[in-house]
Every structure is written in structure tokens, then in C-alpha cells.
Amino acid sequence: MTTIAQTAQQSLAINGGESVAYAMRQTDPEVVAAYPITPQTFIIEKFSEYVADGLVNTEYINVESEHAALSACVGASAAGGRAATATSGPGLALMFEILGVTSGMRLPVVMHLCSRALSAPINILCDHSDAMAMRDQGWVMMFGADPQEAYDQALVAHTIAEHAQVKLPFANVLDGFTVTHSVERVDVLPDHAAKAFVGEYEPEVWALQPGGGATFGGLDASDFYFEHKRQQAEAISNALSVAQMQLDAFADVSGRQYSLVETYMLDDADVALIVLGSSEGMVRAAVNDARKDGIRAGMLRVRLYRPFPVEQVRAALGSVRAIGVLDRAISFGAPGNSLFQDMHTATHGMSDRPFSAGFVYGLGGRSTPKQEFRDAIRRVADMLDRESEPDGPVYLGLH
């Protein structure tokens, strides 16, 4: 059998915003509704060109706000169409009410979230305070690390979201500027292959179904609301196996194999840094330096953040004895920041549970040089010598 991986893929020099727009052109959603906001702008500027040039059949809705953008996607999806949007930081904040509406109505809307710090003080640069704010809203969340992954995940997103065992919205989370504005080589599938992979959206029930129709967003009082939330918990749990299955299917056509967690030098590692998104590149470099200094260091990157891949994280950690968890957002007043809490819970009950330390880095786009991550590895290794964990997080690069 000749897979598409064996046929020619075109290599483009484009940034992450353009690579997402390229995938959106290939998936050709019935409706795209978005409001421009830095650093998401490349996506909708480029996609608007595709619409203007007649390269897609999409109804592109210029809305007055992000609240309206996601609401329009909800309406389009409930009506039976494939819908997509893109936003960043404060734009996501303005969507907040509709985040739960989308997942609660079980609508597989795809959002490309170009992560940006939440105000105030106003800041247009990257951190994960927006993504962490949406983590409990019932969306499947996948973090990409570069423009290639931004493109690939943008295609896979629909196949996970629309799967019969899932039927939930999907956030393709991409670091603002680092991914969205960085020009890199991106290998793209031929249009026919991308369209064949993503397929048509065929909902079981939709509002404008001829001869029937359905009511979306009706009232649940205390009688069934609890039960519907339980259904969502089941559906997002199903997304674990569905996500890996669809990533595997994507590997068959693209030749690019992804996992729910990605590892680097972890097999024989004593200490590891845990990271989300594009910072993995600098973390790998720090791991290399630590190895040169005789520390058996490694890295674990969590790709699928919601649902959190507990078993995959445990299996990947193997014999790692100490971990440092890198959070790019503060969960104010919490006993630990978001990824730290997830890792702490995921490793709870392991017979040889590793020591763990929390780190906060890169807020508001603060650049974290390699030496900062190298210093984090030193602190993680120190836990092994002291056989104790620090009380609170270390703030890397804080002046």
C-alpha cells in the first residue's frame, strides 16, 4: 500500500499562524468566525485572503467581539456545520461564557489559541495564563511546539473533536509569537490528502436537520444538569484513546508520529523537566548541557493537556527520581501551579514517586535563556542529594 507519506509533500517556509491558516483552507469549514487579536492575527489575515480569493467555501463572519465569534461558531456547529475560530489571551477571556456552552452542548468547534498573557498590566506576549484559565471548561487541549505541529494538530483537531466517542470542542494551543510568528519549514499534505484525512463532518443530530431538527441549549434544572456534566467527564476521558488513535492515523498519511507526551533523553534519566509547548527546544538544549556536566537529565513534554494523560506520563517517567515542573502561568493562591498540580496528582500513588519541584518562567513573554533551565535542572538534582522538596515554586529569571 502506498501511503501519502511516501508521496511528495510540499515544504513551505511559513510561520505558525500561516501554517494553521493553510490547514484551515484544506479543512474548509462551513463557518469561521473570529475577531483579530495579536498574536492570532496571522491566522485570520491569511484565512481572510483565502476567503477573498475564493479558495474556500467558508462563510467568514466578521464579528464585533470574541464573545460573538465563539457564539457564531456554536450556532454554526449546532446547525450542523464544521466551525472554527482563533484567538489569544484577552480574546479568550471575552469568550469565557461560551467556552462552557460549546462543550456543554457537545459541539466539536475547533479553536486555535495563540497563547498570550492576560491583562493587567497589558501585555501582548506569550504565557499560558489564557490556556490555564480555560482548562476546566471541558475542551480537549493540545499544545504544539512549532509551526509544523501547529499545522498537523490543526488537521488532527477536527478528527478528535468530531469523533462519536468525544463530541467536544478542541483547543489547538500554540505559543504566541514563538510559534505564530516564527518562520520555519513546514511540510504540508497535498490538499486531497488533507481533505481525505479530515473527512466530512457528519453529526448524528443537528438543529437544521431536514424532517426533524433538534433543540440545543435547553433548560436543565436540578433534574439532569449533574447527569449531563457526568457525560462530559466520560467524553473527555474517551478523548485520551481517541487522540492517540487519530495521531496514529495522521502518522500513516504524513509520516509524522506524535504521542500524547513527548520525551527527550528520558530513558536513563535521573532528573527531568516537565514542559508544555515551544519552550521544549530550549529545555532540550539545557538537557544536553546537563548531560555534558554528568547529570543524567531528560525532558517530558505534555502534548495533550486535557484530558491529562496520567498513564502515559507515569510510563514515560519510568525510573526518573526527581522532576521539575515548568509552569508558564501562576495559579494565584493555589497550593501549586497548574501543570505542577497535574503532575503531582498524576504521580501520586506511584511506588517510587519522584521528588517534584515547581518552577514559574516566561510570564508576559519574558525570555528564558538556556542557562535558566540548566539552573532548574541543578535544583531538581539537588533534591536527590537533600532528599527533600522545596516549599514553593522557584521563579526563573525573575529580577
Q: Which residues bind other proteins (CB under 8 A)?
A: 104-107, 167, 205, 212-218, 220, 224, 226-228, 230-231, 235
- Smallest gap from Cβ 291 to other proteins, in A, equals 49
Nearer to other proteins, 239 or 276 (CB): 239
Nearest approach, Cβ of 85 to other proteins (angstroms)? 19
Determine how many CB atoms are found less than 10 A away from the CB of residue 81: 18
Instruction: Give the total residue count for the chain.
Output: 399
| Terminal Cα distance for the chain, rounded | 58
Q: Closest CB to other proteins among 97 and 248? A: 97
CA 3 to CA 5: how far, in whole Å? Answer: 5
Q: Specify the residue, 74 or 95, whose C-beta has the smaller distance to other proteins.
A: 74
Q: How far is the CB of 91 from other proteins (least distance, A)?
A: 25
Residues 6+ apart with CB under 8 A from 138: 99, 100, 103, 104, 168, 169, 232, 236
CB of 113 to other proteins, least distance (A): 22
Please check whether residue 141 is in contact with residue 166, taking contact to mean a CB–CB distance below 8 angstroms: no
Phi/psi of residue 120, nearest 5 degrees: -105, 165
CA 150 – CA 87 distance, rounded (Å): 14
33 vs 74, which CB is nearer to other proteins? 74
Cis bond before residue 120 (omega within 30° of 0): yes
Nearer of residues 67 and 229 to other proteins, judged by Cβ? 229
Rg (CA), the chain: 21
Distances, alpha carbon 369 to alpha carbons 219, 300, 324, 327, 387, in Å: 51, 19, 17, 15, 28
Q: Kindly report the backbone phi and psi dihedral angles of residue 291, in degrees, each rounded to the nearest multiple of 5, phi listed first.
A: -60, -40
Nearer of residues 53 and 204 to other proteins, judged by Cβ: 204
Smallest distance from the beta carbon of 136 to other proteins, in angstroms?
18
- Closest CB to other proteins among 49 and 220? 220
Cβ nearer to other proteins, comparing 214 with 330:
214
Closest approach, Cβ 204 to other proteins, in A, equals 9
Closest approach, Cβ 59 to other proteins, in A, equals: 23
What's the closest the beta carbon of residue 220 comes to other proteins, in angstroms? 5
Say which residues have a Cβ less than 8 Å from residue 127's Cβ, sequence separation at least 6: 115, 116, 117, 328, 329, 362, 363, 364, 365
